[in-house]
Amino acid sequence: MNDDRMVQEVEAARAYEALFVPSLFRQWAPQLLDVAKVATGDRVLDVACGTGVLAREALPRVQPAGQVVGLDAMAGMLEVARELAPAVVWRQGDAQHLPFDSQAFDVVVSQFGLMFFPDKPGALREIHRVLVPSGRLAVAVFDGLERNPTYAREVALLARIAGEAAAEALRAPFVLGDAEALARMTREAGMEAVEVTTLTGTADFPGIGNLLEADLRGWLPVMGVNLDEATIQDVLARAQVELADVIDPRGRAVFEVSVHLVSGRRG
């Protein structure tokens, strides 16, 4: 990777950590780790770890005898993750070809990563491979866009002003909304005792501008879509009008978010 590309990746990762993690992602980490029954001594793999919010939350649960490994495809994400939690083992790699021995982990977790893997069944089979017998799996994905209406409205706004590539990048997180299909895919990968629980959480951004900038400056660049500043400002201005109903009395952008949490174990 050339230096300019690495700088861009790190900048996108810093924006992701600053804008998304506190407002949207951090809330799910304790619930996911509870479902996975992460405990002292466990060897835990966080697949598609991003900047590492889930791995950071797991680390004190497994200490002093356990280990947490975070894996992501993006070097920039791992650079920021390493700065925030040097005690976690950070590895760059492909979720569809995990660079680990079979039966290397007691628990595999993944938070909002499975939706983006080109070969989702293959990634789940790889997770099954690296789990010990009776090892546990817990994965969080977003519910469908139709059950996340605020994001559906943002997608429509992006399509109209920023173009279809930007809109498609924002649709991508919501492609695993069918809970039955998600459970079936997980069972077909070899997992047993599979359950899908649909949870409602709260997105809580400092304002409409922060919500949109999280996507425009933090998410779209991660997905390879970089908008020019004039387009960003146009989207931000329209969003202040079209999404004004999500502003609470404090001036924050607050709305419900629907998420699936799929769990299971290796036989």
1 vs 44, more confident: 44
Helix 229-242 with 149-161: angle, nearest 10 deg = 140
Q: For position 181, what pLDDT does the model report? A: 98
Mean pLDDT in residue range 50-63 = 97
Instruction: State the average pLDDT over residues 221-250.
Output: 94
- 173: tokens are 């997180």
C-alpha to C-alpha distance for 30 and 21, rounded to whole angstroms: 13
pLDDT tens string 251-263:
999 999 999 999 9
pLDDT over threshold 90, residue 250: yes
N-to-C CA span, the chain: 40
Query: What average pLDDT does this structure show over 189-206?
Result: 97
- Rounded Cα distance, 154 and 160, in Å: 10
Arithmetic mean of pLDDT, 86-106: 97
Which tokens is 214 given?
Answer: 């999280």
Q: Give me the pLDDT at residue 114, please.
A: 96
For residue 1, pLDDT beyond 90: no
- What are the beta bridge partners of residue 68? 44
Q: Residue 80: what pLDDT? A: 97
- Structural domains present in the chain: 3-266 (3.40.50.150)
pLDDT of residue 264: 98
Quick one: which of 115, 141, 138 has its CA closest to 194? 138
pTM: 0.93
Tens-place pLDDT, residues 176-186: 999 999 999 99
What CA–CA distance (Å, rounded) separates 129 from 121? 12
Tell me the per-residue pLDDT of 101-157, one tens digit each, with 9 for 90 and over: 999 999 999 999 999 999 999 999 999 999 999 999 999 999 999 999 999 999 999
What DSSP string describes 106-174?
EEEEEES-GGG-SSHHHHHHHHHHHEEEEEEEEEEEE--GGG-HHHHHHHHHHHHHT-HHHHHHHHGGG
Cis peptide bond N-terminal to 64, omega within 30:
yes
Q: 126: exposed, middle or buried (C-beta count within 10 Å: 0-12, 13-18, 19+)? A: buried
